[in-house]
Each structure stands twice: as C-alpha cells, then as structure tokens.
A and B are shown apart, each in its own frame.
Chain A
Amino acid sequence: QVQLQQSGPGLVKPSQTLSLTCAVSGDSVSSNTVSWHWVRQSPSRGLEWLGRTYFGSKWDSDYAVSVKSRIVINADTSKNHFSLQLRSVTPEDTAVYYCARLLKKIWSFDIWGQGTMVSVSS
C-alpha cells in the first residue's frame, strides 16, 4: 500500500523559505510510471497545483507560473522522498500543503499526503 507522509514546520517567517518533505512508502520515487506533485489549498485560492518532479530518462521538474521564480521540487532517491522549497514567502503563501502521486496510466492524483498547514507570519 502506497503512503505519503509529510513533514516540515507549520510556521514560517515572511521572506524566509518554506521547506516540506514527503516520504514515500510502498513505491519508489524513481519509478517512471508516476510523478510526484505538490498542491496547496487556501480559502482564497482553493486547490492550486504548484509543481512536480519525475524520473524519465533523467530527473526533471515543472512548476506553476505563479510560483516558478521561487520554487524548487526535487527528490532524494537515497531517502525515497521528495521535497518542496518555496523561497521569499509572504502571508499569501499561507495554506495547507499536500504532496501527491500522479499515476501516469490514469493521469490522476491517486495518493495524497495528510496535508501540512503552513502559516506565514512574523
């Protein structure tokens, strides 16, 4: 059974970097049948796709235009986890952050992490 376990701080100061990790069990982050995503939810924006990382012939990542200049998503194969880093955060980045697996054969997010509420405040 595939599970995603999120970890990271729930409070980040403005202008600092938000960092979250998603540990994968029951699957390999290096699998080429899936991709690994971060999604956030806020009252003002609903669910917002942030980006993904995946392994095809090499590791690659794609990001939402809204955060492209501030975001990095990458994977650590030795720990079988993937991470989100969002730089220069503002209160607008306050949200519940989810990691999720997209299964390529159904083009859908079939497994989700439990969610992490992150507040940006001094």
Chain B
Amino acid sequence: QSALTQPASVSGSPGQSVTLSCTGTGSDIGSYNYVSWYQHHPGKAPRLIIYEVRNRPSGVSSRFSGSKSGNTASLTISGLQAEDEANYYCTSYTTRTLWVFGGGTKLTVL
C-alpha cells in the first residue's frame, strides 16, 4: 500500500479539464511544500511536471497546474489532449521515510 493515496483512474474528453488528487498526512503533504508530480508513459522515464506544489519546470505546458490544501495535493490538467494520456504520480518529502510516492493515477483521454 502506497503512502500517498491517488485515485486509480481518471478520464476526460479532449479539451476538458481534469483534477487528480493526492492525499497524504500531516507528516508529509501537510507539513511540507515539497510535493511534486510526474508524468509517466509506459516504457519511458518519468517526467517532472510540477515541483514544490505549484511550480512548472521549463518546457512543461501551462496546462498543468498544481495546488495543495491541508494534507491533499492536486494536479489539474486543462485543455486535455491525447498526448496527456499517461500515468501520473505524486511524491512528497516526509519526516518518516524521506520520500513517499502515490500509487499513481491512470489518465485516459476519451
């Protein structure tokens, strides 16, 4: 069982917005702004798309945005495109084991 809880799957149609959640505890997401999100296409290396809750690395589309409230972080993808279909993982720094990941959410673009 992963330390951070993510829904197993989410779907949306092209052009729509979807929000992926990532729920932790007061020992990780609730205490630190070191939440990041990764896009993972099977067979490829994970790609960093959000760091420190809401910041986008250079080259990442502004359609990706992050936020946090209490022990839950969220990733919103607006203007959904076919290429966004992938697995998305959140991670957080934690006092317990340094770094914890979520179980991942499979995003399907209908």
**A and B bound?**
yes
Q: What is A's interface to B at a CB cutoff of 8 Å? A: 37, 39, 45-49, 52, 62, 64-65, 98, 100, 106-110, 112-115
Known: A49-B98, A106-B57. 17 other contacts (CB 8 A): A39-B101, A46-B2, A46-B89, A46-B102, A48-B2, A48-B101, A49-B97, A64-B98, A100-B46, A107-B51, A108-B36, A108-B52, A108-B91, A109-B38, A112-B45, A114-B44, A114-B45
Distance between Cα atoms of A26 and B9 in the complex (Å): 36
Can you list 16 contacts pairing A with B, beta carbon distance less than 8 Å?
Answer: A46-B89, A47-B89, A47-B101, A48-B2, A49-B97, A62-B98, A98-B46, A107-B36, A107-B51, A108-B36, A109-B36, A109-B46, A109-B48, A110-B48, A110-B51, A112-B46
Majority DSSP secondary structure for residues of B touching A: strand
Q: Does residue B29 face the partner (Cβ distance < 8 Å to A)?
A: no
Number of A-B contacts (CB under 8 A): 63
Measured between alpha carbons, how far is A108 from B97 in the docked complex, in Å? Answer: 15
Closest to A102 in B: B99
Q: Is the CB of A108 within 8 A of B2?
A: no
> Chain B 36-80, CB within 8 Å of chain A: the 1/0 string?
101000001111100110010100000000000000000000000
Q: Assuming A62-B98, A64-B97, is B48 touching A47 (CB within 8 A)?
A: no
Q: Check if A47 sits within 8 Å of B104, measured CB to CB.
A: yes
Task: Kindly list chain B residues whose C-beta atoms are within 8 Å of the C-beta of A39.
Answer: 101
- What residues of chain A lie closer than 8 Å to B44, measured between beta carbons? 114
Interface centre among A37, A45, A112, A113 (most CB of B within 10 A): A112
CA distance A37 to B101 in the complex (A): 13
Residue of B nearest to A109 (CB): B48
Interface flag for B24 (CB, 8 Å): no
**Contact partner, A107, options B34, B45, B97, B104, Cβ 8 Å:** B34
Min CB distance, A60 to chain B, in Å?
12
A110 / chain B contacts, CB cutoff of 8 Å: 48, 51, 57
Residues on the B chain within 8 Å of A65, using CB: 97
Q: Which of B2, B34, B48, B57 has the most CB of A within 10 A?
A: B48
